Amino acid sequence: MSINMKSKLGAALLAIAFASTPALANHHAEAPNAAQIKASYEQDRADILAMAGDYKVTFDMKETTSWRDDYTPIKAKISGGHESVRVIKDTDGEIILQHLLVAEHGGKTMVIKHWRQDWKYEPASLLTYSSSGKWTLEAVPEAERKGAWSQTVYQVDDSPRYAGVGQWKVRNGVRSWTSDMTSRPLARRDATRNPVYDHYQAINRHQPIPGGWIHWQDNSKMKMVDGKAVPYVQESVLNTYKKFNGYKVEAADKYWKATQGYWAVVRSEWDAAIAKANGVTVEEEAQTGTVISGKLLEMGTKIEKAEMTEAAAIAEAKTLIRTAANAPVKTASKTSSKASGY
């Protein structure tokens, strides 16, 4: 082919390319208008509120990829149970969901106050896990919070666990909320084994599914070595919540009706401790999360069984939290909450 012919062919192909892709001249999508922003916000709220209900839950946990020659992933584990999720606060821009486990043991029904998730729209700050037993309030840049929701997860005694920021988006026809990289303390399933790693860096995703929802976790299990976080293994966790009421749902509601006043004060005490210190420090314990968790849960059970008055439990809970919160932590590590350090 002559040079002249090649030049003509090239010019023709270039002309076709420009003619067939007029969007390249204006590839930026138009900013959403007020009606679209409101509709998206209301859909976000609906997806969060839809997580409330009664469920059969499956917890599917698997360490997948070792990042070191000297570490072998542990055996995968699947467990499950029954869980009732209740809305305990629903105001403009804030939704709080409380999880309650319902189990049968020895012919008796047991209700265990489980984790709590707080959702805030366009949050100004985030309570991040910064080191062993320590959480710090950090400002969320305006650009990152626009149109975004934070999810803060609390432990069984309403002390903090982890928090992340992300937006609800539609991908491949499915709506989901995906967090930024989130620093987290070890879950009980790991902490009780005394593993080599000491914290997680994780991405969390929540998605509605037919008849329920899923919580997917992509966890990097890390260890602090000479002041630097070293990755040991990757873990995939898929928690599936399917609508189901074939268990003693009334037990969960009975427990919550009897104890909600007590737990409201417990939440308030933790909030006060966090506000006072711009975060909170509390000693952690492998079995229960914090050193006071077991006692706080025990008093909730005693209230429900009429073995302790709400007033007495509240007084003791206040003393416990005020003593434990922001006291020196014996086993502090230097776990950065910033993903850039990993």
Q: d(Cα 46, Cα 68) in Å, to the nearest integer?
A: 43
- The beta-carbon contacts of 306-315 under 8 Å, at least 24 apart in sequence, are 310/261, 310/262, 313/262, 314/262, 314/265
**Rounded to the nearest 5 degrees, what angle is found at the Cα of 339, between the Cα atoms of 334 and 342?**
70
Residue 24 lies in a domain: no
Does residue 4 form part of some domain? no
Token pair 């007590």 is at which residue? Answer: 262
**Mean pLDDT across 232-241:** 98
Q: Is residue 74 part of a domain?
A: yes
CA atoms within 13 A on the CB side of 265: 19
Residue among 226, 126, 121 at smallest CA distance from 181? 126
**298-332: pLDDT as tens digits:** 999 999 999 999 999 999 999 999 999 988 877 54
Q: Is 217 within the bounds of a domain?
A: yes
What are the CA-CA distances from residue 183 to residues 18, 101, 129, 145, 217 (Å)?
A: 46, 25, 6, 18, 12
When divided into structural domains, the chain yields a total of: 1
List the domain range (segments joined by +) for residue 71: 47-335
pTM: 0.87
Would you say residue 19 lies in a domain?
A: no
Q: What digits encode the pLDDT tens for the residues 103-141?
A: 998 889 999 999 999 999 999 999 999 988 999 999 999
14 in a domain, yes or no? no
In 182-292, where does DSSP find H-type helix?
188-191, 249-277
**Residue 314 within a domain:** yes
User: CB within 8 A of 284, min separation 6: which ones?
Assistant: 132, 133, 185, 191, 290, 291, 329, 331
For 41-94, what is each residue's pLDDT tens digit?
A: 999 999 999 999 999 999 999 999 999 999 999 999 999 999 999 999 999 899
Is residue 32 situated within a structural domain? no
Going 7 to 12 to 13 to 17, the CA torsion angle's sign is positive
